[in-house]
């Protein structure tokens, strides 16, 4: 590790200049999904910034148990950053604070602190590990359509109750079955597909659809088998060192390919590669490389519409679709127009907007397990908004949101099918080939 | 004093889930949006859901002489909700129901925690409008805006909060519940209590229900933006418009520093050599009258050597407004912190005030961007500062003193809309004099004999 100068992740003092930008105007309160449910100052960016200030002025200890819980009570959805008139970089602040807690007390301490929020502590470790590798691994590979968590999971979070379901788990991960390289004749570009864990383990069909769509558009696809998790799950838990290691390994892997671009189908992965890597690798020998790769990262919708020559979908899909904006896709990657544009191009498809398409779905990585009550309330509002559109399909650009929405629609009733933008596109291309135009 | 017993009693009154006692939670109630004032952590925070709970809390607080600090959204710019002597913070965030919209009497009855923007969303379904629109309306509460008598961008034509409050329910500092006013347009029964409690900054009573007046929402509007090479021309445009009996809904000004900063930050295509910019929007129920008013404004702008752009579509309107909306965010980018002042002068003294502020900026070598509600003479000189630079901060304090002095010397006031709170307490006597202070004290003592309600704010109890 060669950290030459200090970053917010290494030295809390450097957070001062980030904290001071907050003028306590309260604008963030109007958009924070957690505040909307809990109505406490500590739920929102402004209150957490005040806690940061209190830590620095030694008014409160960084391992104060309530404080730790409050600092982790954040979805890192970045909604507040968009509403902030003062340009407060709240992502750095919250990750900096979490990282300081982890540095001071270690990961086990944090787990234990968050644990108090969970029902059964011994299972947390097991659960978290499995969770990091995506929740699918919790399940036995038996084949009911709707998966209920096995007995031992029930104890972990109140979210794992009798109503909790997960999408069908595939026996084979996406990267197990995909080719390292998919060649096309006369390629217009070569793109690296960064699958992310959710697609790899839980939604491999989204991966298949992406490959299908890119091939239709004459793009050669490289899917390195050895690529890692994007690092977001460990990063949001304050384990910046591990996140750094993961980021570096991924960059090494990217550099071994001849890829011109990196394409993602997950808001969080895209956001990690494009925005988080350059930040966490600041002042390391990877900084410039991270920045260079960050410029080549595109969400699939932007890649199709803005980077390459896009083949318009002609196949008919008679569907009423509503689109959910993933927080990281919209608020971090600023992608919200392109997916809608793509959907509107599909013949037969009508797009109906829900009340607040960019309201968080409540997932927030493991947030929906550790802070199950708040998360459920956020999820419920989303489910109600989706139902109100009477759409037959809800579509989004992030598999983590797909999972959460799938779960909450089931819980709160609603027979809307959940899918990914790229899957609808693939379907349209396929219908076109089948002559259904 | 807040001890175990006090907290247990709070939990009995409000229920466990509505009482915060952990230090980390309490720290998040030690501030509002006012820069550079002292912070203090309260002893306990409670979330009432009904009037009776508040009454019980008052009895408890009186017995124990515990100070009470009402808090809406904590966006005050004068220190109103800060718990200076620890005590209890009452947060109204869970007392946030719209009780009734009555489109025939043109009223809405709300609990104090309702967010102003949400009230407007609710009444817009009836084609109605609740006009007071502070810049903070996406978060500020009706209770907080009533307590501060908040203004907004529409003040010139539509007035401020006090013009839209018809009655309320208040829990008095002595514990009685008092209702006054109502849905009638006319009401001269008893003292005009509405005007006593609006703007009382939480020092005279706790507002628990509010009857708001609504108006039909204007159907047409037209926005334009004008640039001037001389401040005097901009100032004359403002007075000429009013003299010609056009009352725009919005008549906003930005000075050169603000224009340049906005352009730098948002690249909206503003001419950076202009001395001043005016954003003007006229509105009304009739298309013709709105067109006429817009034409009149254009004529006056031209007479005063201004260049202008007029919005023909909604998206053009949005882009004109973007410049104004970017003012504060843009200024905030320049330095680590901003101090937003609120001095207000008669409309005819606008230019003198702007020049006065520029001179003060020059004298102390500070960067001050001024923008604000020109039609109301209500300016927001915004000082761009670095709180960690104590030398600079010393100059800032002097500059702020002089800004207030200038405003008063021009026949203006300390605060047009942000209130006195703690931030401007020391200047109060300069405006209202000894007799004014004495009158305020007598009112305060008569209604709050134990001085438990928001002590240390608005009313200087000692010299
Ligand atoms: C970005 C920004 C823009 C702003 N723009 C404007 C503007 O354009 N115009 C303007 O006038 N102000 C503006 N303000 C100032 C502020 O928003 C207003 O003063 C607003 O009225 C405060 O409302 P609040 O709900 O946040 O109240 P708080 O700040 O929580 O409280 C304000 C005062 O009201 C008292 N109070 C709150 N609720 C009650 C109650 N139920 N009963 C009795 N007392 C109560 C408190 O004790 C306190 O003294 C702005 C502030 C910010 C940060
Ligand atoms: S990141 Fe999201 S959850 Fe966290 S404070 Fe900001 S808006 Fe709230
Ligand atoms: S919106 Fe930004 S400046 Fe305002 S309180 Fe929130 S974080 Fe602070």
pLDDT in tens, B344-392: 999 999 999 999 999 999 999 999 999 999 999 999 999 999 988 999 9
Q: Are A119 and A57 members of one domain?
A: no
Residue A4 has what pLDDT?
Answer: 47
Q: Are A297 and A332 members of one domain?
A: no
Residue B260 has what pLDDT?
Answer: 94
Fold classification of B4-93 (topology level): 3.30.43
Q: Are A68 and A114 members of one domain?
A: no
Confidence of residue B333 (pLDDT cuts 50, 70, 90): confident
For the domain with range B335-449, which CATH number is right: 2.60.320.10, 3.40.190.10, 3.30.70.2740, 3.40.50.261? Answer: 3.30.70.2740
For residues B251 and B163, what is the distance between their CA atoms, to the nearest angstrom? 19
Residue A126 has what pLDDT?
Answer: 41
Q: Which helix (H) or strand (E) holds A289?
A: helix A287-294
Residue A188 resides in a domain: yes
* Nearest-by-CA chain A residue for B92: A39
pLDDT in tens, B216-246: 999 999 999 999 999 999 999 999 999 999 9
Residue A301 resides in a domain: yes
Residue A153 has what pLDDT?
Answer: 46
For residues A31 and A29, what is the distance between their CA atoms, to the nearest angstrom? 6
CATH number of the domain where residue A287 is located = 3.40.50.1860
For the domain with range B96-216, which CATH number is right: 1.10.1840.10, 3.50.50.60, 3.30.465.10, 3.40.50.720? Answer: 3.30.465.10
Residue A329 resides in a domain: yes
Which ligand has the nearest atom to the CA of A36? 2
* Pocket flag, ligand 1, residue B74 (CB < 6 Å): yes
Mean residue pLDDT of chain B comes to 95
Residue A122 has what pLDDT?
Answer: 40
* Nearest-by-CA chain B residue for A60: B24
Nearest to A42 among B28, B33, B115 (CB): B28
Question: Model pTM?
Answer: 0.90
Q: Are A200 and A245 members of one domain?
A: yes
Which residues of A, range 13-72, sit inside 8 Å of B by Cβ? 16-17, 20-21, 23-27, 29-30, 39-42, 46-48, 50-51, 54, 59-60, 64, 66-67, 70
Which residue range(s) make up the domain with A329?
Answer: 320-433
Residue A313 resides in a domain: no
- Assembly ipTM: 0.95
Report the alpha-carbon angle B336-B338-B342, nearest 5: 180
Burial of B393 (0-12, 13-18, 19+ CB in 10 A): middle
Give chain A's residues under pLDDT 50.
Answer: 1-4, 118-155
Final residue belonging to a domain, choices A105, A129, A158: A105
Tell me how far the alpha carbon of residue B92 lies from the centroid of ligand 3, in angstroms: 20
Rounded to an integer, the average pLDDT of B191-218 is 98
* Pocket flag, ligand 1, residue B88 (CB < 6 Å): no
**Lowest-confidence segment of A412-416, B159-163, B221-225, B258-262 by average pLDDT:** A412-416
Q: Whose CA is nearest to atom 2 of ligand 3?
A: A84
Q: Are A65 and A151 members of one domain?
A: no
Which segments of B166-223 does DSSP mark as H helices, in order? 193-197
Q: What number of C-beta contacts closer than 8 Å exist between A and B? A: 88
Q: Are A65 and A133 members of one domain?
A: no
Rounded to an integer, the average pLDDT of B439-446 is 97
- Sorted by where each begins, the domain ranges of chain B are 4-93, 96-216, 219-333, 335-449
CB atoms < 10 A from the CB of A277, how many? 29
Q: Are A362 and A426 members of one domain?
A: yes
Q: Give SS3 for B402.
A: helix
Report yes or no: B271 at the A interface, CB cutoff 8 Å. Answer: no
In ligand 1, the atom with minimum distance to the C-alpha of B146 is: 21
In ligand 1, the atom with minimum distance to the C-alpha of B152 is: 8
Residue A379 has what pLDDT?
Answer: 93
**Do B219-333 and B4-93 fall under one CATH topology?**
no
Asked whether the predicted pLDDT for residue B321 surpasses 70, the reply is: yes
Asked whether the predicted pLDDT for residue B278 surpasses 90, the reply is: yes
3-state secondary structure chain B: CCCHHHHHHHHHHHCHHHEECCHHHHHCCCCCCCCCCCCCCCCEEECCCCHHHHHHHHHHHHHHCCCEEEECCCCCCCCCCCCCCCCEEEECCCCCCEEEEECCCCEEEECCCCEHHHHHHHHHCCCEECCCCCCCCCCCEHHHHHHHCCCCCCHHHHCCHHHHEEEEEEECCCCCEEEEECCCCCCCCCCCHHHHHCCCCCCCCEEEEEEEECEECCCEEEEEEEEECCHHHHHHHHHHHHHCCCCCCEEEEEEHHHHHHHHHHHCCCCCCCCCEEEEEEEEECCHHHHHHHHHHHHHHHHHCCCEEEECCCHHHHHHHHHHHHCHHHHHHHHCCEEEECCCECCHHHHHHHHHHHHHHHHHHCCEEEEEEEHHHCEEEEEEEECCCCHHHHHHHHHHHHHHHHHHHHCCCECCCCCCCCCCCHHHHHHHHHHHHHHHHHHHHHHHCCCCCECCCCCCCCCC
A21 to chain B: which residues are within 8 Å by CB?
Answer: 332, 336-337
Residue A21 resides in a domain: yes
Shortest CA gap A70–chain B (Å)? 8
Q: Do A86 and B388 touch (CB under 8 A)?
A: no
Q: Are A20 and A56 members of one domain?
A: yes
User: Which is nearest to A383 in space by CA: A80, A199, A163, A210?
Assistant: A163
For residues A406 and A195, what is the distance between their CA atoms, to the nearest angstrom? 20
Residue A212 resides in a domain: yes
CATH number of the domain where residue A76 is located = 1.10.1060.10
Q: Are A97 and A114 members of one domain?
A: no
Domain count, chain A: 4
CATH architecture assigned to B219-333: 2-Layer Sandwich (3.30)
Q: Are A180 and A299 members of one domain?
A: yes
Residue A315 resides in a domain: no
What letter does residue A239 receive in the DSSP assignment? Answer: -
What whole-number percentage of chain B has pLDDT above 70? 100
For residues A212 and A305, what is the distance between their CA atoms, to the nearest angstrom? 16
Q: Are A179 and A151 members of one domain?
A: no
Rounded to an integer, the average pLDDT of B414-426 is 95
Residue A152 has what pLDDT?
Answer: 41
User: Which is nearest to A165 in space by CA: A402, A398, A386?
Assistant: A402
Mutate to test the pocket of ligand 1, among B89, B140, B159, B454 (most ligand atoms within 8 A of CB): B140
Q: Are A178 and A281 members of one domain?
A: yes
Shortest CA gap A8–chain B (Å)? 17
Final residue belonging to a domain, choices A167, A191, A210: A167
What whole-number percentage of chain B has pLDDT above 90? 92
Final residue belonging to a domain, choices A135, A152, A167: A167
Q: Considering only residues A131 and B435, tell me which one the structure prediction assigns the higher pLDDT.
A: B435
Q: Whose CA is nearest to atom 6 of ligand 2?
A: A80
Shortest CA gap B115–chain A (Å)? 9
Residue A298 resides in a domain: yes
Rounded to an integer, the average pLDDT of B132-155 is 95
Tell me how far the alpha carbon of residue A31 lies from the centroid of ligand 2, in angstroms: 8
Q: Do B25 and A24 touch (CB under 8 A)?
A: no
């Amino acid at each position: 590790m060669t950290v030459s100068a200090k970053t917010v992740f290494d030295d809390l003092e450097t957070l001062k200049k980030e904290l001071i930008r907050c003028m306590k105007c309260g604008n963030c309160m109007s958009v924070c999904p957690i505040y909307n449910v809990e109505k406490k100052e500590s739920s929102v960016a402004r209150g957490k910034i005040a806690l940061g200030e209190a830590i620095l002025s030694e008014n409160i200890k960084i391992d104060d148990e309530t404080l730790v819980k409050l600092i982790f009570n954040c979805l890192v959805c970045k909604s507040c950053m968009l509403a902030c008139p003062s340009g407060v970089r709240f992502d750095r602040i919250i990750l900096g604070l979490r990282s300081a807690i982890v540095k001071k007390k270690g990961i086990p301490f944090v787990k234990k602190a968050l644990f108090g929020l969970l029902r059964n502590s011994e299972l947390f470790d097991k659960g978290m590990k499995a969770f990091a590798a995506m929740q699918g691994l919790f399940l036995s590979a038996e084949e009911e359509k709707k998966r209920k968590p096995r007995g031992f999971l029930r104890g972990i979070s109140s979210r794992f109750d009798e109503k909790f379901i997960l999408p069908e788990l595939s026996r084979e991960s996406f990267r197990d079955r995909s080719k390292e390289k998919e060649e096309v004749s006369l390629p217009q570009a070569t793109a690296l597909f960064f699958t992310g864990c959710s697609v790899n383990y839980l939604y491999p069909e989204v991966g298949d659809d992406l490959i299908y769509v890119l091939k239709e558009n004459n793009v050669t696809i490289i899917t390195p088998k050895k690529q890692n998790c994007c690092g977001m799950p460990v990063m949001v838990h304050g384990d910046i060192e591990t996140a750094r290691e993961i980021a570096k390994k991924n960059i090494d892997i990217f550099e071994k390919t001849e890829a011109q671009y990196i394409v993602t189908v997950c808001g969080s992965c895209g956001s990690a590669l494009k925005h988080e890597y350059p930040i966490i690798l600041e002042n390391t020998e990877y900084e410039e490389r991270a920045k260079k790769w960050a410029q080549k990262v595109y969400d699939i919708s932007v890649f199709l519409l803005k980077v390459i020559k896009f083949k318009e979908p002609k196949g008919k899909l008679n569907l009423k679709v509503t689109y959910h904006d993933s927080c990281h896709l919209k608020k971090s990657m600023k992608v919200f127009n392109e997916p809608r544009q793509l959907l509107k191009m599909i013949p037969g498809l009508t797009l109906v907007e829900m009340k607040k398409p960019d309201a968080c779905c409540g997932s927030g990585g493991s947030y929906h397990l550790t802070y199950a009550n708040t998360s459920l309330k956020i999820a419920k509002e989303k489910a109600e908004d989706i139902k109100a559109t009477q759409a037959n399909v809800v579509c989004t650009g992030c598999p983590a949101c797909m999972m959460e929405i799938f779960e909450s629609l089931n819980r709160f009733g609603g027979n809307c099918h959940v899918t990914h933008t790229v899957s609808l596109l693939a379907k349209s291309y396929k219908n076109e080939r089948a002559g259904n135009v | 004093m807040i001890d175990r017993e006090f907290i247990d009693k709070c939990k009995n009154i409000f229920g466990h889930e509505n009482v915060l006692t952990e230090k980390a939670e309490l720290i998040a109630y030690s501030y509002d949006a006012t820069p550079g004032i002292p912070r203090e952590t309260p002893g306990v925070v409670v979330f009432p859901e009904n009037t009776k709970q508040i009454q019980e809390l008052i009895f408890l607080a009186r017995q124990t002489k515990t100070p009470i600090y009402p808090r809406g959204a904590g966006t005050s710019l004068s220190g109103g909700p800060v718990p200076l002597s620890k005590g209890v913070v009452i947060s109204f965030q869970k007392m946030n129901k719209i009780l009734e919209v009555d489109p025939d009497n043109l009223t809405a009855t709300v609990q104090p925690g309702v967010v102003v923007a949400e009230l407007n969303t609710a009444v817009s379904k009836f084609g109605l409008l609740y006009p007071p629109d502070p810049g903070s309306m996406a978060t500020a509460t009706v209770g907080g805006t009533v307590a501060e008598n908040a203004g907004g961008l529409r003040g010139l034509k539509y007035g401020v909060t006090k013009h839209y409050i018809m009655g309320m329910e208040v829990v008095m500092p002595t514990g009685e519940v008092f209702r006054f006013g109502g849905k009638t347009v006319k009401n001269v029964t008893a003292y005009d209590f509405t005007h006593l409690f609006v703007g009382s900054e939480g020092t005279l009573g706790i507002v628990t229900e509010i009857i708001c007046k609504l108006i039909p929402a204007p159907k047409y509007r037209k926005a334009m933006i004008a640039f001037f090479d001389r401040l005097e021309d901009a100032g004359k445009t403002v007075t000429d418009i009013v003299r010609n009996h056009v009352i725009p809904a919005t008549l906003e000004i930005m000075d050169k520093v603000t224009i340049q900063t906005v352009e730098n930050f948002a690249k909206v295509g503003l001419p950076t050599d202009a001395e001043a910019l005016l954003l003007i929007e006229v509105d009304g129920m009739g298309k013709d009258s709105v067109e006429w008013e817009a034409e009149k404004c254009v004529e006056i702008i031209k007479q005063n050597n201004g260049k202008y752009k007029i919005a023909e579509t909604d998206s053009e309107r949005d882009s004109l407004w973007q410049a104004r909306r970017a003012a504060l965010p843009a200024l905030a980018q320049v330095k680590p912190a901003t101090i937003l002042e609120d001095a207000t002068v008669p409309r005819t003294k606008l230019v003198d005030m702007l020049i006065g502020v520029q001179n003060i900026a020059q004298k102390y070598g500070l960067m001050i961007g001024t923008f604000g509600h020109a039609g109301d003479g209500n300016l927001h000189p915004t000082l761009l500062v670095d709180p960690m630079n104590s030398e600079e901060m010393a100059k800032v304090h002097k500059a702020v003193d002089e800004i207030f002095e200038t405003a008063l010397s021009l026949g203006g006031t300390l605060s047009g809309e942000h209130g006195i709170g703690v931030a401007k307490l020391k200047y109060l006597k300069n405006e209202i004099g000894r007799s004014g202070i004495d009158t305020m004290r007598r009112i305060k003592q008569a209604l709050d004999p134990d001085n438990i309600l928001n002590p240390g704010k608005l009313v200087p109890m000692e010299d």
